[in-house]
Amino acid sequence: MRYFLQRFAQLLIVFGLVSFGVLLVMRIGSNSPEELAIKLYGGRPLSPDELTEAISRYHLDTNYFVQYFYWLKGLVIDFDLGQSVANSRAVADLLKPRVWTTVLLGLYANVFGMLIAIPVAVRQAYKRDGRFDKAAGLMTFVGVGVPAIVLGVLLQLLFTVKLGWFPLIGDKIYPWDDLGQHVRNFFLPTLTLTIPVAAIFARLLRAEMVLTLQSDFITLASAKGVSPARVLWRHALRNSLFSIVTAVGTNLGALLGSAVVVETLFDLDGLGSQLVVSVLSSDLFTVQSFVAIIVLLVVSVNLLVDLAYALIDPRIRQMRSLG
Amino acid sequence: MTTSVVSSQPADRAHERSWWQRLPKGGVLFSILWLGILVFLVVFADYLSFIRDPDAKVRVAGRLQSNYKLGPGYSAWFGVDGNSQDVFARCIYYARNSLQIGLASTVLGLLIGGTLGVLAGYFRGWIDRIISILIDCLLAIPALVLAVMLIFRLDDIKATWTFLGWMTRKWQIIMTLSILAVAPLARIVRAQTLSLREREFVTAARSLGAKNGRIITKEIVPNLVPTMVTVAFTGLGILIAAEGALAFLGLGLTESWGFQIESNRRRLEKAWWATVFPCLMLLGTVMAFNLLGDRLAKRFDIREAAV
């Protein structure tokens, strides 16, 4: 329990520092509150009334710490993230429908990534240095390194242009609205994100499994007559799965980075594609809040990973509560 | 990423093998060939007759080949794009930017990240704590999101702070990408330094009265070189991919593979070549660096070589 409180405090500190840093990066480089207000409103000239209103609303005449305090208060208490200039809507309204696209993509990529990676890696570790191991090793190596744009474009060429299975212009449809359409629209983006994730998981799990299979308790299990399948799938896999659980957390940043590219490529309206649109129209409020929300996602998933880690393995729970 | 243990070739029999058997195998051979040819073409692009001027319009028998008219073939190896420009020539010329940006940002990232990592790992205490928090914060922002944000803001900050006027778009990208490289590099170097500083030769140097500065430069840093070189190769691949992604999103250079992909991808049905060849160039280059990095990681037995 102490360990979790510690981790929680640590993650809160990281989130606080990062979101303050983001605010600083967004607002630095203006000589006066008036100039900053104009920038925050997208660079169009403001009338004196609007100017005073903007400055008092966002406390722009104070220092950055006070501004940060009010921004944080807006985020936590009334979910007021400021006004998006491009669509003249509240940032919160812009944000809510888009979070789901990105969250779903990330979820699918991790779930399917595990579903693909586990059997492949187990088979690889079982017949180590065999033909399957070598072929899968090459494929996962390519999968880890392939840039998201390249993979996305090549998949689009194959499945959309040559085979015509999926629509070229994507649309954001959620499973609770229309499941069939949702699958059609999310299949290719999910596949583009899943392949690298599956490859990373498979490589980590294979390496871990190879080590686990050499340990004493596996030899013991085989010696006392446990069937090879059971040794492989129960004893060895269970003790190697932690590498994947950790990788979910460490890989999340890269995954969300690819999601930016993939959402843009497949015209899915998500956090990433909206971030790029907002950047290109220099919409400071939106960019700031979107980055903060993405960081919040990363930080909370990492906390969940830590929790899951300790839940799976009683040894770790005990060890950490002692130390 | 954890690398698997490989059985190394017996080195003492090297003289018995003929030269083609001593060539590097598989992936490394591909990397060296790909990068060698690419660098040769990039360096001598201006003098080689088969590489057109990237902005010149392609004409066959005096007729302008506009709007993707010419597919891959003898007169234009990778076909022409919508502005009747040679895709092959553009791929080669744009490789200049990708390689330059990748190299420059890797070197910058190594310098900053390496320094931070060594300081944190060697001195420990509050220096370590501050640097570790900084690394944690940088790692909490997805790399591409950070890059998008920084490049966007650098434009504006440059306008206010005139002393940054020297920063062209290319420099902005180099600076941004090197910041991306800092956090992972610093973490790896820190971990290595932590274990190195407990080794006997460091204790020996210290007991002989060597100062911290000397121990770091003469004892620690030379032992970090294999790790840094390995990570640099893997990092180069990742940073070149990131440069492509930025250009694809419209935030990088327009003279880049990523922007070529972006500007031609809507016409994938009509002219696959204008999109696919830049993709393949990007893929090949990234893979070549990754393969070299992977080989070096196995050679030096470095486990955490992923950036």
pLDDT tens digits for range B39-98: 888 888 878 777 777 777 777 766 776 777 777 777 777 877 777 778 888 888 888 889
Nearest by CB to residue A257, choosing from B143, B250, B283, is: B143
Judge whether A311 is closer than 8 Å to chain B, CB to CB: no
Q: Is B152 helix (H, G, I), strand (E, B) or coil?
A: helix
Looking at residue B85, the DSSP 8-state letter turns out to be B
- Res B113: pLDDT: 92
Scanning B111-140 for CB atoms below 8 A from A yields: 133, 136-137, 139-140
Across the interface, which of B133, B157, B261 has its CB nearest the CB of A29?
Answer: B157
B247-279, pLDDT tens digit by residue?
A: 998 888 888 888 888 888 887 777 888 888 899
Give the residue-averaged pLDDT of A146-168: 83
Q: How far is residue A201's CA from residue A259's CA, in Å, rounded to a whole number? A: 18
Interface check for B7 against chain A (CB to CB < 8 A): the answer is no
- Tell which residue, A62, A90, A58, A52, has the closest CA to residue A72: A58
Q: For the residues B15-41, what does the mean pLDDT come to? A: 77
Give the pLDDT confidence score for residue A86 in this predicted structure: 63
pLDDT, tens digit (0-9, with 9 covering 90-100), for A21-43: 888 888 877 777 777 777 777 76
Chain B contact present for A204, CB below 8 A: yes
Q: How confident is the model at residue A200 (pLDDT cuts 50, 70, 90)?
A: very high
User: Given pLDDT bands bounded at 50, 70 and 90, which one contains residue A120?
Assistant: very high
Tokens of A300: 């909370």
Cβ–Cβ of B149/A13 closer than 8 Å?
Answer: no
Q: Flag if A145 and B143 touch (Cβ within 8 Å).
A: no
What pLDDT score was predicted for residue B3?
A: 45
Residue B142 CA neighbour count, 13 Å, CB half? 30
A277 touches chain B (CB under 8 A): no
Which residues from chain B sit within 8 angstroms of residue A22, using beta carbons? Answer: 141, 149
> Above 80 in pLDDT, residue B110?
yes
Q: What is the dihedral of CA B263, B268, B270, B272, to 10 degrees?
A: 100
What pLDDT is recorded for position B1?
A: 41
Distance from CA of A225 to the nearest CA of B (A): 29
**What pLDDT sits at residue A57?**
75
pLDDT at A283: 80
Q: What does the mean pLDDT of chain A come to?
A: 82
Percentage with pLDDT > 90 across chain B: 16
Token pair belonging to A67 = 């501004």
Alpha helix ranges (H) inside chain B:
26-43, 87-123, 125-140, 143-160, 169-196, 200-207, 212-214, 221-248, 257-264, 273-300
Of A39-43, A299-303, B169-173, give the lowest mean pLDDT range. A39-43
Please list the alpha-helical segments (H only) found in B161-270: 169-196, 200-207, 212-214, 221-248, 257-264
Quickly state the pLDDT bin for B114 (edges 50, 70, 90). very high
**pLDDT, position A268:** 83
Which residues lie below 8 Å from residue B184, measured CB to CB, with a gap of 6+? B113, B139, B231, B235, B306, B307
Average pLDDT, chain B: 82
Predicted confidence (pLDDT) per residue in B196-245, tens digit: 888 889 889 888 988 888 888 888 888 888 888 888 888 899 999 999 99
Give the residue on A whose Cα is nearest the Cα of B145.
A257
Closest chain B residue to the Cα of A279, Cα to Cα: B152
Read off the pLDDT of each residue in B111-136 and give the average, rounded to a whole number.
90
Does B7 have pLDDT greater than 50?
no
What local confidence, expressed as pLDDT, does residue B20 receive? 62
The pLDDT of residue B19 is 61
What pLDDT is stored for residue B157 in this prediction?
Answer: 80
Least confident of A103-117, A230-244, B129-143: A230-244
Residue of A nearest to B276 (CA): A154
Residue A113 has pLDDT above 90, yes or no: yes
Q: How confident is the model at residue B2 (pLDDT cuts 50, 70, 90)?
A: very low
Q: For chain B, what percent of residues have pLDDT higher than 70?
A: 88
Q: How confident is the model at residue A318 (pLDDT cuts 50, 70, 90)?
A: low
For B64, the 3-state DSSP assignment is strand
Residue B13: the pLDDT is 54
Determine the average pLDDT of the residues in A235-244: 84
pLDDT at residue A74, as a whole number? 78
> Are A150 and B275 in contact (CB < 8 Å)?
no
* Contact between residue B177 and residue B105 where contact means Cβ atoms under 8 Å apart: yes
Mean pLDDT of A59-80: 79
Which pLDDT band holds residue B307 (cuts at 50, 70, 90)? very low
Q: Give residue B120's pLDDT.
A: 92
CB-CB under 8 Å, B157 with A208: no
Structure token pair of residue B97 = 């930017």
CB B160, CB A28: distance < 8 Å:
no
Q: Tell me: the pLDDT tens digits for B186-197?
A: 988 998 898 888
- Per the CB < 8 A criterion, the answer to whether B230 and B305 are in contact is yes
Q: What is the pLDDT of residue B112?
A: 93
Confidence of residue B5 (pLDDT cuts 50, 70, 90): very low
Q: How far apart are CA A166 and CA A266, in angstroms?
A: 11
pLDDT, position B4: 45
Within 10 Å of residue B65's Cβ, how many Cβ atoms?
21
The answer, yes or no, to whether residue B30 has pLDDT greater than 80, is yes
- 3 state SS of B167: coil
Average pLDDT over residues B101-124: 92
- B142 to chain A: which residues are within 8 Å by CB? 252-257, 260, 294, 298
